[in-house]
């Protein structure tokens, strides 16, 4: 699974915190505005009491009933404290009207005072219920947030479990492959030994300056490389530092030229347009000879298989910071975007008779020496495999080991 970026996570937290502060400030401002409107309503009803003649009882009864609305709304929105504050303000606004009844007898006077007590009671009851409902809502929101975090954690753990299961399946395939390789290794090495022996006899037949001497010598080298490649599948799942290195260090430029020589005849038969550029850019880069020969040869052969007759293949070398990059490009159909992440997976192949291990093993070899292997689109729309080789030796392969 991809590792989260701490800087990105910190930026997200700062952004969420800013949004929360903004929302809190906006809600606080809205509450102040609503409370101010309720106070204005209370003051307005009080003014209506003052300026309405006392003998218009119907209007004053209507104003008293209207006074319950701002008190109730205040209690709902602001709790007991808000409701009582508005009830007190309503009572103060109601006092001038009460003074009109001081000479009308005790019953009328007490009736108006009872209205004030009812204001207070309404504020307390509604405020208490609203506060309790608000606390329940906050508890539900907190519980919802916890459930959301639990779901996210469960989802993350599920993805991890699926990934581990996929790795387990791949390990099982590799285990089966290792058993098969062990049984076939002896049968494959015997004919390779016969081929090498025959090639050594032919080498004696052609003097060193004979035109075919170099090709027979390359044949022997490639038989040795193929003989070592028999064990490559067994090494696929093992760390490079766990395997004794053969220390066959060579210039990367020499390896590139040797691979070009090996495939030249096949390219001529297929009438391919081949170009090698800036090979001297990697002449100072030392790599493990036979392993990088296997990687580059696999890249070139894949490119040749992907293009039609009269197609184009190019090997380009360049220096990029502390890396040497060897690119193998073609003008074939390329790789679908959906398959870009699959091409390096074991047993994935679009070839009819492919094993799906060539690119996987190549990637393992390159990464084992501290490099990288990736794929992009070529300038012609086909595939471009790039081998990134570090100019400095990885810690596990110091020059002292050479």
Indicate whether 248 and 123 sit together in one domain.
no
Total structural domains within the chain:
2
Q: Which helix (H) or strand (E) holds 288?
A: strand 286-288
Instruction: Give a yes or no: residue 227 inside a domain.
Output: no
Is 353 strand, coil or helix? coil
150 and 255 part of one domain: no
Whether the per-residue pLDDT at 6 is higher than 90: the answer is no
Statement to judge: residues 262 and 386 lie in one domain: yes
Query: For residue 162, with 0-12 CB atoms within 10 Å meaning exposed, 13-18 middle and 19 or more buried, which class applies?
Result: exposed
Residues 251 and 368 in one domain: yes
Asked whether residue 10 falls in the same domain as residue 153, the answer is yes
Mean pLDDT for the chain overall: 78
Name the packing angle between helices 289-306 and 213-229 (round to 10°): 100
pLDDT in tens, 319-364: 988 899 999 999 988 887 777 777 877 766 666 555 667 788 888 8
| Distance from the Cα of residue 245 to its chain's centroid | 35
User: Is the pLDDT assigned to residue 145 strictly greater than 90?
Assistant: no
The pLDDT value given to residue 105 = 57
Q: Is residue 102 part of a domain?
A: yes
Same structural domain, 246 and 143: no
Residues in contact with 98: Cβ distance below 8 Å, sequence separation at least 6, in sequence order: 109, 112, 113
Edge-to-edge strand order for the sheet containing 273-277?
Answer: 273-277, 312-320, 323-330, 383-390, 372-377
Which domain CATH number covers 270?
Answer: 3.30.565.10
Contact 317, 254 (CB under 8 A): no
Boundary residue ending a domain (158, 179, 197): 158
Helix or strand holding residue 32 (H, E) = helix 6-51
Same structural domain, 286 and 384: yes
pLDDT at 100: 63
124, 158, 192 — which closes off a domain?
A: 158
- Count of helices and strands (H, E) across the chain: 9, 7
Q: List Cα–Cα distances, 17 to 25, 150, 264, in angstroms.
A: 12, 21, 63
Residue 164 placed within a domain: no
pLDDT bin (cut points 50, 70, 90) of residue 243 is: very low
Single pTM value for the model: 0.46
- Say if 221 falls within a structural domain: no
DSSP for 111-145, written as a single string:
HHHHHHHHHHHHHHHHHHHHHHHHHHHHHHHHHHH
385: helix, strand or coil: strand
Question: pLDDT band at residue 244, thresholds of 50, 70 and 90?
Answer: very low
Half-sphere exposure of 385 (CA within 13 A, CB side): 26
Report the percent of the chain where pLDDT is more than 70: 76
* Residue 223 placed within a domain: no
pLDDT in tens, 259-318: 998 888 888 888 899 999 999 999 889 998 888 988 998 889 889 988 888 899 999 999
Looking at the domain assignment, is residue 193 inside a domain?
no
Nearest to 379 by CA among 330, 338, 341: 330
CB 163 within 8 A of CB 1: yes
> Do the beta carbons of residue 260 and residue 276 sit within 8 Å?
yes
Query: Residue 246 gets which letter from DSSP?
Result: -
Which pLDDT belongs to residue 237?
Answer: 45
Place of tokens 């050479």: 402
Is the per-residue pLDDT at 21 higher than 70? no
Whether 190 is covered by a domain: the verdict is: no
Which residue would you say has higher pLDDT here, 50 or 143?
143
Domain assignment present for residue 184? The answer is: no
**Do 250 and 395 lie in a common domain?**
yes
Of 252, 261, 300, which Cα lies nearest the Cα of 280? 252
Last residue of a domain, one of 141, 158, 175: 158
Residues 147 and 294 in one domain: no
H or E element: which one contains 256? Answer: helix 252-270
Same domain, 16 and 141: yes
Q: Are residues 253 and 378 in the same domain?
A: yes
Q: In this predicted model, what pLDDT tens digit does every residue of 149-204 receive, in sequence order?
A: 888 888 888 888 888 888 777 777 766 766 666 666 656 766 777 787 788 888 88
User: Where in the sequence is the domain holding 50, given as residue range(s)?
Assistant: 6-158
Where b means 16+ CB within 10 Å and e means fewer, 260-286 reads bebbeeebeebebebeeeebebbeebb
Q: Is the same domain home to 257 and 153?
A: no
């Amino acid at each position: 699974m991809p590792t989260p970026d701490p800087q990105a996570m910190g930026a997200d937290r700062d952004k969420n915190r800013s949004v929360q502060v903004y929302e809190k400030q906006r809600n606080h401002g809205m509450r102040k505005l609503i409370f101010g409107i309720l106070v204005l309503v209370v003051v307005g009803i009080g003014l209506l009491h003052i300026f309405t003649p006392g003998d218009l009882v119907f209007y004053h009864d209507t104003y008293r009933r209207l006074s319950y609305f701002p008190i109730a709304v205040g209690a709902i929105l602001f709790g007991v404290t808000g409701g009582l504050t508005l009830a007190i303000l309503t009572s103060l606004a109601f006092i001038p009207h009460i003074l009109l009844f001081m000479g009308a007898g005790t019953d009328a006077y007490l009736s108006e005072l009872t209205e004030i007590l009812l204001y207070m009671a309404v504020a307390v009851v509604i405020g208490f219920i609203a506060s309790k409902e608000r606390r329940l809502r906050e508890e539900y929101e907190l519980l919802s947030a916890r459930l959301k975090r639990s779901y996210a954690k469960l989802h993350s753990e599920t993805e991890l479990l699926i990934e581990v299961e996929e790795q387990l399946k791949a390990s099982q395939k590799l285990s089966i492959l290792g058993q098969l390789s062990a049984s076939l290794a002896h049968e494959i090495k015997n004919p390779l030994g016969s081929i090498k022996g025959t090639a050594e006899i032919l080498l004696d037949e052609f003097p060193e300056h004979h035109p075919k001497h170099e090709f027979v010598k390359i044949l022997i080298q490639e038989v040795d490389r193929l003989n070592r490649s028999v064990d490559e599948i067994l090494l696929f799942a093992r760390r490079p530092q766990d395997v004794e290195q053969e220390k066959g260090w060579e210039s990367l430029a020499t390896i590139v030229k040797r691979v070009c020589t090996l495939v030249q005849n096949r390219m001529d038969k297929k009438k391919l347009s081949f170009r090698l550029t800036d090979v001297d850019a990697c002449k100072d880069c030392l790599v493990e000879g036979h392993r990088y020969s296997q990687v580059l040869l696999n890249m070139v052969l894949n490119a040749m298989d992907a293009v039609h007759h009269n197609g184009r293949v190019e090997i380009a070398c360049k220096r990029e910071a502390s890396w040497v990059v060897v690119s193998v490009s073609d003008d074939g159909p390329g790789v679908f975007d959906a398959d870009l992440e699959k091409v390096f997976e074991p047993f994935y192949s679009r070839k009819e008779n492919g094993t799906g291990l060539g690119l996987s093993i190549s990637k393992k070899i390159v990464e084992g020496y501290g490099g990288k292997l990736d794929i992009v689109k070529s300038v012609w729309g086909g595939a471009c495999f790039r081998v990134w080789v570090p100019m400095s030796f990885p810690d596990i392969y110091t020059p002292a080991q050479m």
